Amino acid sequence: MNVTRLKDLLQAAVELELSTIPPYLCALYSLRPGSNDEAAAIIRSVVVEEMLHMVLAANVLTAIGGTPRLTGTDHVPRYPHELPDGVVIDLLPFCPQAVEAFLKVENPQHDHQAMDPEHPLIVGRRPEKHPAGATAVMSRPATIGAFYAEISEALEQAAKELGEPALFCGDPARQVTRQYYYASGGMPDVVTDLASAQAALDEIVDQGEGDPSSMFDADGNLAHYFRFQQLKYNRSYRRSDNAGPPSGPPIGVDFDAVYPMIANPRGADYTDPELRAASDTANRTWSDLLRQLEAGFNGRPEMLLTAVPTMFRLRDQSLVLLANPLPSDGRRHAGPTFEWDGVDGPDPEPDQMKGLQ
Amino acid sequence: MNDDADYDVVIVGAGVNGALSAKRLTRAGLRVLVLEAGPDTAWTFDGYTRHVSHFYANSTKNAESAWPPAANAPQPDTADVRSGDGYFVQQGPNPFASSYTRLLGGSTLHWLGVSLRMLPEDFELRTRYGVGRDWPLGYADLEPYYRQAEREIGVSADVADQAHLGIDFPEGYDYPMRRIPPSYSDRVLAAAIDGMEVALGEEQFALQVRNYPAARNSMPRGDYQPVGAVDERTDGQALARDLGQRCAGNTACTPICPIQAKYNAGKSLAQAENRNLRVIPQAVASRILVDPVSGMVRGVEYQRYEHPGSPRHTVHTATARAYVLAAHAVENAKLLLASGLSGGSGQVGKGLMDHPALYAWGLSPTSVGAFRGPLSTAGIDDLRGGSFRASHAAFRFDIGNDGWRATTGAPDSSVASAVTGHQLFGPRLRTHLEESLPRQVRFSVAVEQLPSAANNVSIDPRYVDPLGNPRPVINYHLDDYTLAGMAAATDVYRQVFRRAGIEDRSDPEEASWMPSVSYDGSVFHYHGMGHFAGTHVMGSSAETSVVDADQRSWEHRNLFVLGSGSFPTMGTSNPTLTMAALTLRTSERLIKELAG
């Protein structure tokens, strides 16, 4: 097994996990204040676990001597984003179509009707699709689960060929530990050998689609797919529901109490100069966040502390956009575009660390 | 647990002492009933969120503004101190200016989270300085329980900062989480102040801005897992537990941490062994029933109400092998007195203490970045101990990160006074605010108070609440020992301000109303710290105290009375950590006796 290819696979995994975050954040931030409390809790709980998955994938990559990359046009996800199994994820406000896409992302067996390109939500809003990096590096088109299975096999193969110590040659000090990871949605595993690498990958798959015949992951928490089923049916699960549709009480899903964000917005869509400036600000923050996280994954874990207030800023700046109707449209609102600011460069300025520690 | 279960222990009150007892006792296999006078609205995640919304919507922002009481479990409100017509019947001569919260979670719902240990010398004031009372146990007896308490409630601090004034820690110990990072303000002030010397009596003290131990989640040490929001559900969807596993620097620790990164007693109660626990909210203990021959408690009578707004209720009796009162220093004393259990010592309700506190505020020469981070993260602790305590009270400075919020209502009031007082508007107003608000500095100086029989809680049949239970009648005055401490504290804060170049803007006329007291030509305006203590004092003999060192009633041997009411004195530390340590010690003894 070629270690370079293994690194490519793991880099694609990091990007894959990253690519799920903006769509979830768009749905989360589009909820109008005072509405959809349970929906917000559900989406938030998933998005923090996707963050954890990205950390776990990065730890595995670091453990084999790789350098996780999150910055630059080659690595920052673009939307609409096409996953390896052909599923297209858009940046959408909270709506039934977004929930359907989330269900499909989390469970490939989900009976998913791809959105009609003429659907009013997306008509004219999908100029091109951007394939996930995983599509290029995988040996065959397949689901996310199969993608991780391929990584898992490749790791095992490489460990057999090279021996574990040679494969896991990364500096343990570069692992992201729970000390720095903002411990939501579980704990990052420090990866130093094959067993811990497999445990990290298992956690990613287990929390996501889980075992389709069981609603719960190994920690007894409802798997992502089933959390989203509750949004689709506006009902909570009972333990006795046995992986069928949920039969518990309603959870207050209100698809109307949402800022009607334009699908897959881009900075270029904002002809109004103030809106454009607000969008550029949010994109600089998003790019700063990616620079900080990348530094955090590459030997400067303390940068993950700086990243926390950056996440708050990104939220606040996204809400500014979402609360604004598009002057040219009259009905639909602006939204965060999650575009790379184009500033490729070294690590974040050291003075951003002033004020901490 | 079943309704008709037969309990090992009945606990009155679901605050920090009741919750920690319930956790320890149920985990040891004992069957426990907890009676909570107030509603349990803060114990579900939805309910807690509604309290956050209530706080946001409330025009006042004091310790109570997130926590409206149930009419049947009324509570004191600091807004009533001026009018004197609140829950407390204030008989003076000085108003008692503190409050507490009667909901499941108790006053830990609104506390700031300061978790200082008491000093070794605090336990032996009489022996060392000839004032106050000695405790029947010492720092060394309590030290192991301090460590347990720091883990149970989740305290963030570094031993390197805290090992001073005689406080020692066993080799290799450190707090479960690292200290909350010092604020920018802390660092600016430390640069100006650290090392400056002040004299008190014959002694010289070098001052230092010191991070304080806080019950707010921070970076964990070792295998410690920070405990986030309370979200108890059986369906695998306790999604909110992920919230609050780190302090995010929200500026509302008091009255409500919006993400529950700050400890509240609901967290401990949620960790109890469910199979052995029953919690009945909206159940007001009204009388302790005692066997007249043996003196043993044979039941607790309680009033269960369905609707917090209606006095309709039913009366029940809970029985068990042992009884724990953990209702609050004032409520414990009130319940004992209402049950006719004033004891042979006559000490029930006597010796009420607080930390009356002074505000000092000013403008720093440069920005301290006011209004960011937790309400405070550091203080000046160096004058908590010393031989001056033979003649006047010790005191501790809390250094705010919240500008003049607590004193004048800034920033809103700063805007109002700039507009109406200085006729500023437009860019000049903006420049003025940008230039002045970040320079606002606020100290709060908590002053020690010694026990005195003249300070007490009593009951009077003329004053009752909607359920017919007595309201606390408070007699309170600040004696010369405390007032001389206030004078010394005022002198020190002025020296500190001068040293740091802070322009003193302390002006009671500009501040929210506070009670005042005169001493030696000065007038001090004080506020309460919410640190009630001393109402069922512990001691080494039944003649002079209500409970023994295990917080066990001398006269009713199956009755334990928990909390800061047991404190003979309270030094200058916030009482929660010490009472948590005492409670863990008592629980250990109860378990040995009942489960053994």
pLDDT digits 0-9 by tens, B355-399: 999 999 999 999 999 998 899 999 999 999 999 999 999 999 999
Q: Which of A113-122, A188-197, B405-414 has the lowest mean pLDDT?
A: A113-122
The answer to whether B242 contacts chain A (CB < 8 Å) is: yes
Question: How far off is chain B from A327, nearest CA to CA, in Å?
Answer: 28
Which amino acid would we find at residue B73? A
DSSP-H helix ranges across A234-302: 273-297
Give me chain A's average pLDDT, please.
Answer: 88
* pLDDT band per the 50, 70, 90 thresholds, residue A241: confident
Position B596 pLDDT exceeds 80: no
| Residues B242, A185: C-beta atoms closer than 8 Å | yes
pTM for this entry: 0.91
- Name residues 121-150 of chain A within 8 A of B (Cβ): none
* pLDDT band per the 50, 70, 90 thresholds, residue A354: very low
Which neighbouring-strand residues pair with B320? B7
| Residues B239, A45: C-beta atoms closer than 8 Å | yes
Position A355 pLDDT exceeds 50: no
Q: What angle do CA B153, B268, B559 make, to 5 degrees?
A: 100
* pLDDT band per the 50, 70, 90 thresholds, residue A61: very high
**Interior/surface letters B414-444, b for 16+ CB within 10 angstroms, e for the rest:** beeebeeeeebeeeeeeebeeebbbbbbbbb
CA nearest to A62, candidates A149, A173, A224: A173
Show the tokens assigned to B549: 């060192």
The answer to whether A215 contacts chain B (CB < 8 Å) is: yes
| Residues B236, A237: C-beta atoms closer than 8 Å | yes
Residue-wise pLDDT tens digits, A127-150: 888 888 888 887 776 788 889 999
Predicted pLDDT at B250: 86
**Interior/surface letters A177-193, b for 16+ CB within 10 angstroms, e for the rest:** bbebbbbbbbebbebbe
Predicted pLDDT at A184: 55
Position B277 pLDDT exceeds 80: yes
Show the tokens assigned to B416: 């109002």
The answer to whether A248 contacts chain B (CB < 8 Å) is: yes
> Average pLDDT of A153-180?
92
Of residues B3 and B583, more confidently modeled? B583
- Name residues 284-323 of chain B within 8 A of A (Cβ): none
Task: State the DSSP string of B461-498.
Answer: TT-B-TTSPBPPEEEE---HHHHHHHHHHHHHHHHHHH
> Average pLDDT of B560-575?
98
* pLDDT band per the 50, 70, 90 thresholds, residue B236: low
Question: How far off is chain A from B464, nearest CA to CA, in Å?
Answer: 39
* Nearest CB neighbour to B236, from listed A180, A184, A221: A221
Predicted pLDDT at B206: 98
Residues A86 and A145: beta-carbon distance below 8 Å = no
Show the tokens assigned to B216: 């707010």
| Residues B46, A37: C-beta atoms closer than 8 Å | yes
Q: Which residues contact A72 (CB under 8 A, 6 or more apart)?
A: A340, A344
CA nearest to A208, candidates A49, A15, A27: A49
The answer to whether A356 contacts chain B (CB < 8 Å) is: yes
* pLDDT band per the 50, 70, 90 thresholds, residue A353: very low
Predicted pLDDT at A356: 37
> Average pLDDT of A93-97?
96
Q: What is each CA distance from B362 to A87, B211, B441, B511, in whole angstroms? A: 61, 21, 5, 12
Query: Quick one: closest CA in A to B177, which residue?
Result: A179
ipTM surpasses 0.85: no
Q: What would the 3-class secondary structure string for A88-122 be? A: EECCCCCCHHHHHHHHHHHCCCCCCCCCCCCCCCC
Residue-wise pLDDT tens digits, B294-304: 999 999 999 99
Half-sphere exposure (CA, 13 Å, Cβ side) for B208? 11
Show the tokens assigned to B322: 């042992």
Chain B residues lying within 8 Å of A355, measured CB to CB: 184
The answer to whether B518 contacts chain A (CB < 8 Å) is: no
Query: Quick one: closest CA in B to A311, which residue?
Result: B248
> Average pLDDT of A20-29?
97
| Residues A184, B243: C-beta atoms closer than 8 Å | yes
Residue B251 DSSP label: S
Chain A residues lying within 8 Å of B50, measured CB to CB: none
| Residues A42, B219: C-beta atoms closer than 8 Å | no
Predicted pLDDT at A209: 66
The segment with the largest mean pLDDT, out of A124-133, B10-19, B42-51, is: B10-19
| Residues A178, B220: C-beta atoms closer than 8 Å | yes
Show the tokens assigned to A72: 């630059």
Euclidean distance between CA atoms A261 and A254, whole angstroms: 15
> Average pLDDT of A309-328?
94
| Residues A182, B220: C-beta atoms closer than 8 Å | no
Chain A residues lying within 8 Å of B46, measured CB to CB: 37
Query: Quick one: closest CA in B to A357, which residue?
Result: B181
Euclidean distance between CA atoms B334 and A180, whole angstroms: 48
Position B165 pLDDT exceeds 90: yes
| Residues B236, A184: C-beta atoms closer than 8 Å | no
The answer to whether A239 contacts chain B (CB < 8 Å) is: yes
| Residues B237, A238: C-beta atoms closer than 8 Å | no
Phi, psi of B574 (to 5 degrees): -60, 135
Position B261 pLDDT exceeds 80: yes
Chain A residues lying within 8 Å of B44, measured CB to CB: none
Q: In 10 A of CB B541, how many CB atoms?
A: 10
* pLDDT band per the 50, 70, 90 thresholds, residue A349: low
Position B2 pLDDT exceeds 50: no
Euclidean distance between CA atoms A21 and A49, whole angstroms: 10
Of residues A357 and B199, more confidently modeled? B199
Predicted pLDDT at A351: 44
Euclidean distance between CA atoms A181 and B451, whole angstroms: 47
- Name residues 260-299 of chain A within 8 A of B (Cβ): none
* Nearest CB neighbour to A184, from listed B45, B46, B242: B242
> Average pLDDT of B86-112?
96
Predicted pLDDT at A346: 54
* pLDDT band per the 50, 70, 90 thresholds, residue A211: low
* Nearest CB neighbour to A48, from listed B184, B234, B242: B242
The answer to whether A177 contacts chain B (CB < 8 Å) is: no
